[in-house]
Amino acid sequence: MTDFGQLNYDMAHLLEGVALLFSFVLLYQRRVEAVINTYTAQAVTVAAACFWQSHVQHSLDLFATGVVTLAVKAIGFPIALHRIAGQLHPHRETNFGVFPSLGLGLFLTCLALLVVMPIPAGAALTRETLAMSLSVLLLGLAIMTTRSSALSQTIGFLSVENGLALAAIGVPGMPIVVELSVAFLVLIAFIIFGIFFFRIREQFESLELHHLDRITEAPE
């Protein structure tokens, strides 16, 4: 397709890099409102990457995916998340702290690079894309595991999905079905998440997941 130093290549990787940067911000940010805004920015970046790839690959399918991404992930989800956050009055939550979080993020990014970079460049034109999207995915998983509130974990999950979207659009010629259904299924997943929020709130008066630990059965 393209090589380093060409606009197609540089632009695509710039957008992927920006998305990865937002993942780092998500990892250490503590205020819930800011976390939602960062997620929105990441979703917009993914949509932009989608439009860029549709331009490069001359693919109408990818353009449609971009529109769906923009409408659902960059506009729909954030509105709902802000509404949930407003209803719950969540406090600042604790996580690892800025430096340990960034260290963890750096470690995971290096891991992704080490895993993907041995692939010869000729064999896979998209190996850098793969490395970036794997980093975003791993950072999303890290957000899910280091956060205690269900709302932040949800945003971690959505950020994992952003990483997947980056991978799917970066692989040339991948049939549309997957992207569209991903967008669609995440929508369903999100609705279910929403139902959960309300049920959990009714019953535990808090989104903190450690209230849910009662499920672990006590030994006899």
Partner 1 sequence: MISPWLPVLIPLLAACVLGFIPSHRIAAAVNLAASALTFLIALGLRPHDTGLWLAPDRLGIHFTWLTSFIALCAAWMSGPYIAVEIQAERLTPARARLYHALFQAFVAFLLIGLLADNTGLTWIAIEAATLSSVVVVGITGTPKAVEASWRFFIICGVGIALALFGTIVLYLAASQPLGEGFPAMSWRRMATSAAQCNALILNLAFVFLLLGYGTKAALSPLHTWMPGAHAEGPTPVSAVLSGSLLNVAICVILRTRKILAANPGVIAPNNILLALGLLSVLLASISLWRRSDTKRFFAFSTIEQSGLAVFAFGIGAPLAGLLHLTLHTMAKASLYQCLGHAAQRKGGQSFADIQGLIASDRPLGLSLAASIIAVAALPPFGLIVSLFMILSATAATQPWLALPLLIGIATAAAALIHRLQTLCLGPATPNQIGKLAPLNLVPILTPLLLTIIIGLIMPAPVAAWFRDLAAEVSP
Q: Could you say whether residue 5 binds partner 1 (CB under 8 A)? A: no
Burial of 58 (0-12, 13-18, 19+ CB in 10 A): exposed
CA distance 206 to 189: 21
Q: Which is nearer to partner 1, 34 or 192 (CB)?
A: 192
User: CA angle at residue 5 from 7 to 131, to 5 degrees?
Assistant: 90
CA distance 140 to 132: 12
x/- track of binding to partner 1 for residues 149-188 (CB under 8 A):
-x--x---x--xx-xx--xx--xxxxx-xx--xx--x--x
In the list 48, 132, 137, 151, the residue contacting partner 1 (rule: CB under 8 A) is 137
In the list 11, 14, 144, 187, the residue contacting partner 1 (rule: CB under 8 A) is 144
Q: Could you say whether residue 189 binds partner 1 (CB under 8 A)? A: yes
CA distance 165 to 124: 18
In the chain, count H helices and then E strands: 8, 0
In the list 35, 49, 50, 116, the residue contacting partner 1 (rule: CB under 8 A) is 116
Find the distance separating the first CA and the last CA of the chain, reported in whole Å: 62
Residues lying near partner 1 in the complex (CB under 8 A) are found at 115-116, 118-120, 123-124, 126, 130, 133-134, 137, 141, 144, 150, 153, 157, 160-161, 163-164, 167-168, 171-175, 177-178, 181-182, 185, 188-189, 192-193, 196, 199-200, 203-204, 212, 214-215, 217, 219-220
